């Protein structure tokens, strides 16, 4: 049974389409899936797509935002509790794992899962049984597990903040979802998709310069930010959408600001030397400048305050040489 139209996964990027093909391959199985990606890239949508196109599509799909649940209530919310198990437990309560029985459960922000509860989660996943808080009778749970993380769990394992055995249990099939700035081919179709969603009764075109700015913007909030901005634009749309309809952060975006927001890896990843960080930042800055200049090196060099010869040398150093659309060759 095909997923509902609202779950369409829209992409023109070859990289993203290859990832979605992988998702289509694993969806019919019962294997645990770990979705890896920055906040806002669409992990929840892909998790629901996996469920709706799999063998459990007619069974429950329970979504859990772990970072939104208070730590002191998390165990009771996930595994339930018996009446009288603690002061406010005036009646028995089914946990979210019980509610997801025979279906799928999506644990978002698994990197925020408390260390003291990780062993209980592991036991539930391994034994397919759980015990309510204050309970004495095991309860069978049959669920397909999909988890999501916004950070590299291997780093948390190294730092002793995440159990290695739980990591290997949930990381059966890892799927890394790239940020929107690394799949800019998806921006235009996503803009059109969200415009059609928020303005279903009329077609509102986006002029070329406005779309160029939308495509060049670094999108630190990824698809979620794009959706919210298009919704805002749609509220005031009256005819063709132009540069004047775009928010200030998009009109005024600068390559240097963009790269600092974009380069989360070199600003947070452990084990990188000073030279590694500088090289990573420089490479991303060059790439962003070229993107915003539409591949024109003269304009990109000017935006960065570099001479064209220096800019070319740096492109060569970072192996970023591509034909300049202004003259059709890389020199």
Domain ranges of the chain: 5-178, 182-317
Range 195-203 average pLDDT:
92
Look at residue 32 and tell me whether its pLDDT is greater than 60: yes
Residue 254's pLDDT is 56
DSSP structural state of residue 75: H
Distance CA 311, CA 307 (A): 6
Look at residue 165 and tell me whether its pLDDT is greater than 60: yes
Residue 288's pLDDT is 77
182-317 architecture in CATH?
Orthogonal Bundle (1.10)
5-178 architecture in CATH?
3-Layer(aba) Sandwich (3.40)
Same CATH topology for 5-178 and 182-317: the answer is no
Query: Which of the pair, 325 or 307, is modelled with greater confidence?
Result: 307
- pLDDT, tens digit, for every residue of 89-126? 667 788 899 999 999 999 999 999 999 999 999 999 99
Residue 168's pLDDT is 96
Distance CA 131, CA 120 (A): 9
Query: Which of the pair, 267 or 327, is modelled with greater confidence?
Result: 267
Cβ atoms of 297 and 315 within 8 Å: the answer is yes
| Count of other CB atoms within 10 angstroms of residue 43 | 26
Per the prediction, the chain carries an average pLDDT of 86
Residue 4's pLDDT is 47
Tracing tokens 């993203």 back to the chain, one arrives at 16
Residue 169's pLDDT is 96
User: What interhelical angle do 187-198 and 208-216 show, nearest 10?
Assistant: 110
Q: Which residues of 188-210 are buried (b: 16+ CB within 10 A; e: fewer)?
A: eebbbbbbeebbeeeebebeeeb
Residues 6+ apart with CB under 8 A from 188: 12, 211, 214, 215
Range 170-193 average pLDDT:
94
- Quick check: pTM over 0.85? no
Range 209-224 average pLDDT:
91
Share of the chain above pLDDT 70, in %: 86
- pLDDT, tens digit, for every residue of 263-290? 655 655 566 677 777 888 888 788 878 8
Pairing of β 139-140 and β 129-130: antiparallel
In three-state secondary structure terms, 148 is: strand
Query: Which of the pair, 270 or 24, is modelled with greater confidence?
Result: 24
């Amino acid at each position: 049974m095909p997923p509902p139209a609202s779950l369409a996964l829209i992409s023109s990027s070859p990289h993203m389409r290859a990832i979605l093909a992988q998702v289509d391959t694993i969806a019919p199985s019962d294997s645990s899936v770990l979705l890896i990606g920055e906040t806002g890239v669409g992990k929840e949508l892909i998790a629901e797509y996996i469920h709706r196109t799999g063998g459990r599509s007619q069974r429950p799909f329970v979504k859990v935002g772990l970072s939104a649940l208070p730590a002191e209530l998390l165990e009771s919310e996930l595994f339930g509790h018996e009446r009288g198990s603690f002061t406010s437990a005036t009646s028995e309560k089914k946990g979210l794992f019980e509610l997801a029985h025979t279906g799928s459960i999506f644990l978002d922000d698994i990197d925020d899962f408390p260390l003291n509860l990780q062993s209980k989660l592991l036991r539930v996943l391994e034994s397919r049984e759980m015990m309510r808080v204050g309970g004495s009778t095991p309860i069978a749970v049959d669920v397909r597990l999909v988890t999501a993380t916004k950070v590299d769990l291997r780093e948390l394992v190294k730092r002793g903040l995440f159990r290695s055995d739980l990591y290997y249990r949930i990381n059966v099939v890892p799927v890394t979802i790239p940020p929107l700035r690394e799949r800019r081919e998806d921006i235009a179709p996503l803009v059109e998709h969200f415009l059609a969603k928020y303005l279903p009764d009329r077609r509102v075109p986006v002029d070329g310069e406005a779309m160029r700015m939308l495509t060049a913007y670094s999108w630190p909030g990824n698809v979620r930010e794009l959706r919210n901005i298009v919704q805002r634009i749609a509220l005031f749309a009256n005819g063709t959408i132009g540069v004047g309809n775009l928010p200030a952060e998009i009109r005024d975006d600068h390559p240097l600001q963009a790269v600092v927001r974009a380069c989360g890896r070199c600003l947070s990843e452990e084990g990188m030397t000073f030279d590694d960080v500088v090289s990573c930042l420089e490479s991303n800055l060059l790439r962003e400048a070229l993107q915003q200049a539409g591949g024109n090196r003269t304009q990109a060099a000017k935006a960065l305050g570099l001479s064209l010869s220096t800019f070319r040398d740096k492109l060569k150093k970072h192996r970023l040489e591509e034909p300049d659309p202004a003259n059709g060759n890389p020199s």
